[in-house]
Amino acid sequence: MLKNLHKLLLSLSAPFLLGCDSFLDEKPDQKLVIPSTLTDLQALLNETDLMNHQVPNAGEISADNYYLTDADWAALPREQDRHLYVWAGENVFPPQVNDWNYNFMPVYVANTVLEQLASLPRTPANSLDWDDVKGQALYYRGHHFLQGALLWAPAYDARTASADLGIPLRLGTDFNVPSVRASVQQTYDRIVADLREAAALLPTKRLHPTRPYRVSAHALLARTFLAMGDYRQAALYADSCLQRQSALLDYNTLDLSAAYPVPQYNPEVITEHFAFGVNPALQESLARIDPALYASYAPEDLRRAVFFRPNGDGSFAFRGSYGGGAPFAGTATDELYLIRAEAHARLGNVPEAMQDLNTLLVTRWRAGTFVPLTAAGPEEALAHILRERRKELVLRNLRWMDLKRLNREGANITLSRTVQGRVYTLPPNDPRYALPLPDDVVALSGMPQNPR
């Protein structure tokens, strides 16, 4: 049944997501199962390859955690792959099969579930399952709206958010409803509304790391409010998460001889998501870790050995994924400690900020060597926290968000890459931080392209 449901959704969503008119001419297969029960709808949400493992990774490709050699850049199979690496203003996403389509396919599934659910009565006998299904659908929609906003919209700025271009907020499955770009303010309002409603409906106990529960929604709300610069709300939601799931891995217990030392389903993982490898630039054999980043780890910092392996030529590859080798893009408790620490620092709560940071760091250093960090004031505390956030969340699909929001706060970070003798730069707050919409999506929908 699940395969038939998946085929049905792919056939129905293809015209909207891919923009191929030929799909409209095909006869629907009457043998395909129509989702009509809670079991059917849960089966759709259980399709983890679709719902959990299609997080776009264009932001990570554009960020500064790694570099490519000239030869590896030139060998990338598509022109679009090379353009994304150097922050080109156009021709970044290949038509039809790209991060946009992969990101919005789960939104279509979530909307399908929500529409079908509205026709199913909620009864005392099914109320828990009914609420759980609705909560999951809202979680996935909010999750992918957030991913879309972090890529294709500028950094949230309360002064301009009502005028800045956000993303299309598809809330139904009717292809006849045209796609229009909401404002950034409307985009984030919808993300927050979806995740708050999801949190109220989802169960308090987790069934499996790929299945969202209440903490999952609160974790995304903490991330969302951090991106928005609402540090009070970020602290509250991070605290709500850590009250329920606070375990940290002691890196002293990891097997450093393993190919991937961090177990996939480890105690820190809140909800598992993987970044979908549309672009080959992040392949372990190609992506070399930024030398300055690698040098920032102290010799007794176990992350130096857990996260990286030598390539044999003086460079290093990343091996520290929380996905057992797959590119982890989910939520985990280490991120929540860092969110709460940063929010405390920005709110002037220095002791609380440093306590959270040191609670994390002592699990990362070789046993008996860690000396707790101290700070004389909020600015010093924040500097410590942001430096450790940079080192802790490597290749976790968060750096692009951080670059955008920190530059909005005045961090003045300029990115630079040299490719075949030519220097490419991305200044702070450059319009290119909002990646261009795929050209075929703009042509099909008539939505305005991001300014370059």
pLDDT in tens, 38-70: 999 999 999 999 999 999 999 999 999 999 999
258, HSE (Cβ side, Cα atoms, 13 Å)? 16
> Residue 445 has which token pair?
């929908």
| Reported confidence tier of residue 89, pLDDT bands at 50, 70, 90 | confident
* Distance from the first to the final alpha carbon of the chain: 46
pLDDT of residue 191: 98
Give the CA radius of gyration of the chain: 22
Contact criterion met (CB below 8 Å) for 262 and 226: no
pLDDT of residue 326: 87
| Residue 187 Cα distances to 106, 222, 310, 391, 425, angstroms | 17, 16, 42, 30, 29
DSSP assignments along 328-387, one per residue: B-SEEHHHHHHHHHHHHHHTT-HHHHHHHHHHHHTTTBPTT-------SSHHHHHHHHHH
Backbone phi and psi for residue 102, each to the nearest 5 degrees, phi listed first: -65, -35
Q: What string of H, E and C letters represents the secondary structure of 55-120?
A: ECCHHHHHCCCEECCHHHHHCCCCHHHHHHHCCCCCCCCCCCCCHHHHHHHHHHHHHHHHHHHHCC
Contact criterion met (CB below 8 Å) for 234 and 343: yes
Mean pLDDT over residues 86-108, rounded? 93
| Reported confidence tier of residue 443, pLDDT bands at 50, 70, 90 | very high
Q: Any idea which architecture 2-276+284-445 has in CATH?
A: Alpha Horseshoe (1.25)
> Residue 149 has which token pair?
């906003």
> Residue 224 has which token pair?
């969302």
pLDDT of residue 404: 98
Q: Could you state, in order of their start, the residue ranges of all structural domains in the chain?
A: 2-276+284-445
Distance CA 226, CA 401 (A): 10
pLDDT in tens, 145-185: 999 999 999 999 999 999 999 999 999 999 899 999 999 99
User: Would you say residue 125 has pLDDT above 60?
Assistant: yes
| Range name among 17-31, 189-203, 253-267 with the lowest pLDDT average | 17-31
User: Would you say residue 126 has pLDDT above 60?
Assistant: yes
Contact criterion met (CB below 8 Å) for 116 and 36: yes
Q: What sign does the dihedral 434-443-84-220 (CA atoms) show?
A: positive
| Reported confidence tier of residue 1, pLDDT bands at 50, 70, 90 | very low
Q: What is the mean pLDDT of the chain?
A: 93
> Residue 6 has which token pair?
């998946």
Q: What is the pTM of this model?
A: 0.93
pLDDT in tens, 221-237: 999 999 999 999 999 99
